[in-house]
Structure 1
Amino acid sequence: MATAETASYDLAISGAGIFGLSVAYAAIKAGLSVVVLEKAHVGAGSSGGVLGALMPHMPARWNPKKEFQFQALACLEDRVRRLEAETGHDCGYARCGRILPLTTTDKLEHHLERAQESKLRWHPEKTGFSYVVEPVGSRSDWLSANAAPHGIVYESLAARISPRAYLAALAGYFRGHGTLVEGAEVTGFDADTSSVILGNGRSPIKAKGLVVSGGFAAFDLIEHLTGERIGRGEKGQALLLEGTGLEDHPAIYCDGLYVVPHANGTVAIGSTSDRDFEDDTPSPERSGELMARAMNFCPQLKGRKVLSDWAGIRPRCNKRDPLIGRLPGHEAVFAATGGFKISFGIAHLVADALIAEILGRDADHPLPETFRPDHHFGRNRLDADT
């Protein structure tokens, strides 16, 4: 029987996070033979978090990125239900909706305008997704009325998912249809021999192409391959609380934090974003800050037991948007990284579009130009967003 070292694949993927496993799933569905090479283990990076907030951009100043994300969020439930049927795994998905507090008259007026624009952008008559300004005191059994002196926004496009359960379902499907090798660090690609180079003296893997999708560490490999540094890591931190009785509440976004109830009787709180960090371990001080801030606007969290804390380094491209597509100077090396806070909501459509590109086909939902390599490399890289 062939092993990973002796077999030959159509595609190798570096990284078993949400982008890497979604690309692997799409590649298998397209009929490709695939190997996923993961430096540590499935979900070892920022994809292994606890928050699971699938939140849309605001329906204002509409652009191709927001349209792409809207389409991704709109079809994600169908994708998840198909994966659950294929694997028997429950991904913890629900269209939970989201509450946003209105703290000033300016914000009230601004969101009234957004509510009007949502009718044009979200097509509520067809999709059922609404963005509505509700009066003072609305939903105060969940969000403190004191935190919303000018009312709230309630929008129904937002959803939640269990990041770890979703990854487990994708990995479970892939293990049955492809080859997953954990503890294998990708360090390069030899185009002459169509070989993926591995660290620690491991034998190369034969593959016609490589997708670099290893979280923030992917930026090191991309720099090695292209000579350009196009992204960085930012540390995020979150908490998981006991949440019995809160399962059916919507998510809240307030004071820069999300509170997301999950179907398994937990509530996730997060997450922070720190450019300067020393490691990827949770900070007790940060955890205390998260809890205090969340209880301030969500009193039902008081007295809830903290089940676990989490921290991880998320990949953020200098140009903010993800990097998806063929790397400059390489015919057979592609990237899918830098999703930062929106990865779980768009990964399935990103994967579809990338596999379509690899196969020379048109994608059903083309990638925004700001996701493409031309936006991230060369002269455009020098005009990095901050």
Structure 2
Amino acid sequence: MSDFLVVGGGVIGMMTTLQLADAGHSVTLLERGQCGREASWAGGGIVSPLYPWRYSAPISRLSTWSEGFYPELSLRLFEETGVDPEYRQKGLLYLRVDDEARAMAWARDVGKPLERVSADFLYAKEPEAAPGCDTALWMPTLGSIRNPRLARALRYRLDGMPRVTLREACEVTGFRHVAGRVTGVDTAEGIVEGDRVIVCGGAWAAGLLERVGVELPVRPVKGQMILFKAPPGRVSRVILMDGRYVIPRADGRVLAGSTLEEAGFDKTTSGDARESLRASATRIVPALAECEVEHHWAGLRPGSPDGVPFIGAVPDMERLYVNAGHYRNGLVLAPASTHLLVDELLGREPILDPAPYRLEGRVSLA
């Protein structure tokens, strides 16, 4: 029997497993499909909320801590696995921001570098950016990571750790519990026991917790994205305009996203979304009109009422924990949110005040 069972093999589940194994504990990670192939694979990889000044303080605190952790994590994983997560700190350019004063006030409050720059500065950085902009906002410290490669590196690392057992294609169908205490989970392959169970199921977390009478307000929110096969240097850094964005990769490819759709667990793509994304991307960088759209996909975000994740013990069910509901910011918040939960699990001093993320008062119990 493992010290911990982690249910869900996305970035949240894999980072949780890594930290617990680093601390000397045995961990079994259960994933219904393949590790890192749901929202963790489908997102864009910007290591910041899109417009961070529009988010609440609890999200900002998690985001700020996580941003500082990604360079170290990326280097570690590259060294240990040979897979480069491609962390790139090239900054972000915001075009046509209509709440600039609010953005600048937020930056002053949190000590984040953000400045209003001229058209000359903008086009020196990104010559192909949307023409006609007199000014832009520039956040030089923002980074991005190639999230499919991050997920692959995490999986490779876990697969080589003796304290970790990875079980893919192993769907959890229920929880084993006696007198209000969880002892393991039911799967199609039988019972898996663990001293403590952590649900990191993303958009599927609510369905899991329903089985122990907990109504977690997390729902799937579909997002579609496209990928341009662009030459290296066409776009060098993240550019955001009118709520849509383009993200360059080291090989020149450029992601463009994303839609927000309430469609349940449907992950089908649509021609209308493809054309809408292509139109947005070519407004941000008109030269992308010359590039082939190489790929088009959809993923399911774990939507929550205010975007603040649920992190901590499940009320009235001893030894059951959850880390879910990050909405559009799962990858952004993953290092801090997983560290915060592992602090609780191991009785350590928390990196942040855990109160805003606890489930008490935020979930309904049957």
Q: TM-score, normalised by structure 2?
A: 0.91
Change (3 A) 1:329 1:62: closer
The aligned counterpart of 2:141 is 157
Q: Is residue 2:62 matched to residue 1:68?
A: yes
> What residue in structure 2 maps to residue 259 of structure 1?
246
- Pairing 1:38-187 to 2, within 5 Å after superposition: 38-49=31-42, 51-56=44-49, 57-59=51-53, 63-102=57-96, 107=98, 110-112=99-101, 114-115=103-104, 117-122=106-111, 130-136=113-119, 138-140=121-123, 141-146=127-132, 148=133, 150-177=134-161, 178-187=164-173
- What does residue range 1-386 of structure 1 map to in structure 2 within 5 Å? 8-49=1-42, 51-56=44-49, 57-59=51-53, 63-102=57-96, 107=98, 110-112=99-101, 114-115=103-104, 117-122=106-111, 130-136=113-119, 138-140=121-123, 141-146=127-132, 148=133, 150-177=134-161, 178-192=164-178, 195-200=183-188, 202-246=189-233, 249-276=236-263, 279-367=266-354, 369-378=355-364
TM-score w.r.t. structure 1 length? Answer: 0.86
Q: Once the two structures are aligned, what percentage of the paired residues are identical?
A: 24
Contact 2:15 2:334 in 1 (8 A): yes
CA distance in 2, matches of 1:302, 1:247: 12
Over 3 Å counting, the alpha-carbon distance change for 1:81 and 1:221 in structure 2 is: same
- CA–CA distance in structure 2, aligned partners of residues 52 and 117 of structure 1: 23
Which residue does the alignment assign to 1:126? none
Confirm or deny: 8 A CA contact 1:214 1:337 kept in the other structure: yes
- The residue identity in structure 1 corresponding to 2:44 is L
SS of the residue corresponding to residue 76 of structure 2 reads helix
Contact 1:98 1:251 in 2 (8 A): yes
Quick one: structure 1 residues 181 and 188, their matched pair in 2 at CA, closer, same or farther if it must change by over 3 Å?
Answer: same
Q: Deviations over 1:1-57 (max 9, x none)?
A: xxxxxxx10001111111111111111111110011011111232111152122245
Aligned residues: 358
How many angstroms apart in 2 are the aligned matches of 1:250 and 1:285? 27
Partner Cα separation in structure 1 for residue 16 and residue 340 of structure 2: 9
**Considering only aligned residues, what root-mean-square deviation do their CA atoms show, in Å?**
2.3
Amino acid at match of 2:86: G
Q: Name the aligned partner's letter for residue 345 of structure 2.
A: I
Cα deviation per residue 1:268-294 (whole Å; 9 max; x = unaligned)?
A: 001111113572022122111100121
Name stretches of at least 5 consecutive residues in structure 2 with no aligned partner.
none
Shift of 1:317: 1.8
Find the aligned partners of 1:67 and 1:309 in 2 and give their Cα distance: 33
Matched residues in 1 for 2:319 and 2:105: separation?
45
Structure 1 stretches lacking a partner, 5+ long: 1-7, 123-128, 380-386
- In structure 2, how many angstroms separate the alpha carbons of the residues matched to 1:50 and 1:308? 13
